[in-house]
Amino acid sequence: MEIGPNTIVTMDYTLRLDSGEVVDSSDGNDPLVFLFGQGQIIPGLERELTGLKVGDQKEVRVAPDEAYGSREPRAVHQIPLDRFPEDITPAVGLRLTVQGPQGEEVPFTIAGISDGRATLDFNHPLAGENLTFSVTVQDVRPALGGRIILPGEE
């Protein structure tokens, strides 16, 4: 069976940046399982997986516009350090969340601290990055009505 609409895909992967740094991997963890065509993985990777079969291996390079987008300067803000709750010690690289306008959790990273202010970066950590995925397809099986069909079920 080939990867395409109405399939559940199980794959091992390693994600690298142009620098060669590994930023995510299923190595030593469970493989990634997703319903194809439902926006559960980035569009550029999903497109390149179309038609692959169990056992296939592929290296896929995904540009920012088909991954997490470009870095947006307007998503970077400065706030006074005294605006942080007392139980949080701001530090560069610290990932936190704030409540958005509809009550959703909005993640950000503290990108800098100087002159009594913290620079908050609301861009996705991989925004603006070219991503290279090394993937190995472990399983492809049909999905009915968006439901995962386990082996042996009909």
Residue 2 lies in a domain: no
In a domain, 36, yes or no: yes
pLDDT, position 152: 56
- Alpha carbon 127 to chain centroid, angstroms: 10
Q: Is residue 154 part of a domain?
A: no
Regions of the chain where pLDDT drops below 70:
145-154
Domain match, 117 and 137 both: no
Question: Does residue 152 form part of some domain?
Answer: no
Instruction: Give the span between the Cα atoms of 76 and 3, in whole angstroms.
Output: 38
Distance (Å, whole) CA 131 – CA 21: 10
pTM for the whole thing?
A: 0.80
Q: Are residues 63 and 131 in the same domain?
A: yes
Q: Does one domain contain both 47 and 12?
A: yes
Q: What's the pLDDT at 65?
A: 96
Instruction: Show the domain range for 34.
Output: 7-68+127-144
Provide the pLDDT for residue 60.
97
